[in-house]
Amino acid sequence: MTMSETARPDAVDRQRGDAKIHIAGLGKTYRGHGKDRQVLADLELKVRDGEFLSIVGHSGAGKTTLLRCIAGLEPPSCGEVRFDGELVTEPPAGLALIFQDYGRSLFPWLRVLGNVTLPLRSAGTLSAQERRAAALDALKAVGLADAATQYPWQLSGGMQQRVAIARAIACRPEVLLMDEPFASVDAQTRADLEDLVLNIRRQYGVTVVLVTHDVDESVYMSDRVAVLGGTPTGVAELIDVDLPPERDQLTTKSLPGFIDLRTRVLRAVRELPSERKSGA
Task: Please give the Cα distance from 212 to 214 (Å, whole number).
Answer: 5
Task: Examine residue 157 and tell whether it contacts another protein (CB under 8 A).
Answer: no
- Pairing verdict, β 36-48 and 86-87: unpaired
Task: Please give the Cα distance from 212 to 57 (Å, whole number).
Answer: 8
> Contacting another protein (CB under 8 A), which of 60, 108, 244, 257?
108
> Contacting another protein (CB under 8 A), which of 47, 56, 81, 97?
97
Which range touches another protein (CB under 8 A), out of 55-63, 76-84, 141-149, 257-265? 76-84
Q: From the CB of 105, what's the least distance to another protein, in Å?
A: 5
Q: From the CB of 241, what's the least distance to another protein, in Å?
A: 21
CB 232 within 8 A of CB 199: no
Task: Examine residue 109 and tell whether it contacts another protein (CB under 8 A).
Answer: yes
> Contacting another protein (CB under 8 A), which of 24, 126, 145, 183?
24
How buried is 101 (Cβ within 10 angstroms: 0-12 exposed, 13-18 middle, 19+ buried)? middle
For binding to another protein (CB under 8 A), which residues are involved? 17-20, 22, 24-25, 27, 29-33, 46, 49-50, 68, 71-73, 77-80, 82, 84-85, 90-91, 93-97, 99, 101, 104-105, 107-110, 118-119, 121-124, 151, 153-154, 167, 171, 174
